[in-house]
Amino acid sequence: MLKIYIVEDNLLMASVLKHLLTRMGYEICGSADNYTKAVRELRKNDADLVITDIMLTGKKTGIDIGNYIKKHLDIPFIYLSSVTESDIIKQAMDSSPGNYLFKPVNKPALAEAIFNIIHGGDVVETGSSSPLHKIAINY
């Protein structure tokens, strides 16, 4: 069973995400609402995938977590965020996530993102109305 670690500072969103992922058949192996806790636990944890928000409690962001994972851990990660500013999205994409999903996430988009990571494909949500689409086509 795929073990997923969640980094989300909104308690309601974290709860909804945990429920959704559990119903999809995944195990939640931990969660955090900030960079420090997430990094400390991920060093000891055997997560197969990390799903992180970008804006978190504290000074460090989900992008900092993505960069840490990229440099020190061999775990794929997905950004799940409501951030739509193109400069922040570009910074996020520079950290090489497996995917970037916009909140509110729907089950099919989340399922597709996880499926593609498990099976080695990279999918970036780039609907033509998405601000990420403009970055993705010029990236």
List of residues 6+ apart from 126 with CB closer than 8 A? 132, 133, 136, 137
Q: Could you give the angle at which helices 86-94 and 131-138 cross, rounded to 10 degrees? A: 50
- CA–CA gap between residue 23 and residue 61 (Å, rounded): 28
H/E element holding 81?
Answer: strand 77-81
List, run by run, the mean pLDDT of 10-residue segments along the chain (139 residues).
96 95 96 98 96 96 98 96 93 95 92 90 45 36
Domain holding 8: CATH number? 3.40.50.2300
Per DSSP, the three-state class of 5 is strand
Three-state secondary structure of 12-63: HHHHHHHHHHHHCCCEEEEEECEHHHHHHHHHHCCCCEEEECCCCECCCCHH
Query: What's residue 119's pLDDT?
Result: 84
Q: What is the total count of domains within the chain?
A: 1
Its domain, for residue 27, covers 3-138
Query: CB 121: neighbour CB atoms within 10 A?
Result: 12
- CA–CA gap between residue 131 and residue 68 (Å, rounded): 25
Query: What's residue 139's pLDDT?
Result: 34
> Which residue type, as a one-letter code, is found at position 81?
S
